[in-house]
Chain A
Amino acid sequence: MKPEIVATAPTIDSIIDRIGNEVLAVHAADVDQKARFPAEAIAAMRENGLLRAYIPVSYGGLGVDFRTLTTISEKLGGFCASSAMIFAMHQIQIACLVHHAGSTVYETDLLKRIAAKQLLLASATTEMGTGGDLGTSICAANLSEDGRRVRIDKMAPVISYGCQADAIMVTARSHPQATGNDQVHVLVEKDEVSLDPVSTWDSLGFRGTCSLGYHLVADVPKEHLQPVPFSQILSQTMQPVAHLLWGSLWLGLAQDAASIARRAVRASARKGEVPPTTQLRLAELDEALFKMRSTLHDAIHRYQHIIDNRSWHKTTAFSFGIAMNNIKLICSEAVVDIVGKALMIAGINGYRNDHESALGRHLRDAYGAMLMVNNDRIRSHNAAMQLAQR
């Protein structure tokens, strides 16, 4: 057996800079224009071990910590937000397995196989008829007569890159008589599922995520059900990891827009043409970026601390759920604000698609942050939960 190589932060930084510049940035415009899967970017991530980054070394992964994962997400977001979003969504599923894997042979073998083959995982959590609430399912896990297999029939409004993924993690009620929020999380591999598209994906931004809706029918061995209830996976892992990884890639996107604006201002400054108001706007943009980064990093630190100390009980406090929702709300609105500010600074060149200061894709992607997982729904939830805050 080959000795494990543990990736260090500087190694990963240089890998991302390289594939970011040589692969993600090169194909970002084409991915966006054609609303196509960023196959080159995902292949480059796979070649460099990024898809198994968060899997512990003992299972064949790189064993990076959560904070490093957010850094990767942030950096990727600066090159191609669609590719970074796919990376983030994959890692959310990986984290659900890593944080909650018990000791069953199936779970252990699965993690080893995902690490060895760097299988790409997608997610089918939302369902038509539940109003975007991940904590409720209509479909159920139906046990076969011999009790060995489980069948799930789900109308999923979105399964991002569903057709390109090697496996999909699906939520369902734990059995046909279960209530809507008595859910399980089930891993479904490509050859165990039929996906019938029920919608197309021609969106304003995040076009490369290929977020089509599907009628999903899966038939899997019973062992594919994660043994812990989904409610626990949702509060301990899926919700915080999703909001923090998404926030990170939006930060990378905002940072890139700011860099474009700064380059434009520097170019003008060399010609002695920068109006004082433009420099003031740049300072304001910097404040907004600073605020977004500080807020996000504080929350990442808080969650890393929970992981390090295995103090998972802290994630079920109502205040923790509200805080993670706040991160999503704040970061998704900040990215639109920052990219908008960058556009006003870059001016007409930022408005053009045929200029190096082009910010059109950034702006369109930025709006996805508050629309692809709707802010109003999250804010309404937080609003109701205010009554349980002291």
Chain B
Amino acid sequence: MQDKDDLVEAIRQTLAECAQLAVDVTTLADTDDLYDAGLTSLNTVNLMLAVEDCFDCEFPEEMLARETFQSIHAIAEAVRTMRT
């Protein structure tokens, strides 16, 4: 089980690989708005699949909303919720 920093780092890695943001992921704070950073709804789908692969989990229906992918922090919270 990864600790908090590893979790966030893995999410940052996933974002850099698949989200096609308009800015460098390393310049983003954990709470910065990813949509403002150029995340599109279609890339959200790619991001969702990549997060599921990375953490071997599946987002339930009620989590499949814009807010879940709003920031690195929000994604980390979602992953933690799915793990519990």
Contact = CB atoms under 8 A, between A and B. Distances in A.
Interface string B33-60: 1011111111011001100000000011
B82 interface: no
Contact of B48 (A135, A181, A231, A387): A387
Contact of B61 (A135, A180, A319, A381): A319
A39 interface: no
Contact of B64 (A313, A319, A381): A319
A37 B38 CA distance: 38
Contacts of A385: 41-42, 45
Contacts of B59: 388
Nearest to B38: A179
A41 B5 CA distance: 63
B65 A313 contact: yes
B22 interface: yes
Contacts of A178: 36
B29 interface: no
B36 A318 contact: no
Given A180-B22, A319-B64, A387 B41 contact: no
Most buried by A among B49, B60, B66: B66
Contacts of A313: 65, 67
B37 A316 contact: no
A235 interface: yes
Interface residues of B, number: 23
A179 B37 contact: yes
A316 B66 contact: yes
Interface string B20-39: 00110000000001011111
Given A135-B41, A387-B45, A388-B45, A318 B23 contact: no
Contacts of B67: 313, 316
Given A313-B67, A317-B65, A318-B65, A181 B45 contact: no
Interface in A312-366: 313, 316-319, 321
A256 B48 CA distance: 45
A231 B61 CA distance: 22
Contact of A231 (B35, B38, B42, B65): B35
Nearest to B36: A182
A223 to B, nearest CB: 22
Interface residues of A, number: 23
A181 B66 CA distance: 14
A389 B64 CA distance: 8
A135 B44 CA distance: 14
A136 to B, nearest CB: 8
A390 interface: yes
B64 A317 contact: yes
Contacts of A318: 41, 64-66
A390 B65 CA distance: 12
Nearest to A320: B65
Given A316-B66, A385-B41, A388-B44, A179 B36 contact: yes
A1 interface: no
Interface in A250-300: none
A289 to B, nearest CB: 32
A5 interface: no
Contacts of B48: 387-388
Contacts of A384: 42, 45
Nearest to B63: A317
A235 B66 contact: yes
Contacts of B61: 319, 390
Contacts of A316: 65-67
A135 B40 contact: yes
A221 B77 CA distance: 40
Contacts of B66: 235, 316-318
A136 B43 CA distance: 14
B22 A179 contact: yes
Contacts of A319: 61, 64
23 contacts: A178-B36, A179-B22, A181-B35, A182-B33, A182-B36, A235-B66, A313-B67, A317-B65, A318-B41, A318-B64, A318-B65, A318-B66, A319-B64, A321-B41, A381-B42, A385-B41, A385-B42, A385-B45, A387-B45, A388-B48, A388-B59, A388-B64, A390-B61
Interface of B: 22-23, 33, 35-42, 44-45, 48-49, 59-62, 64-67
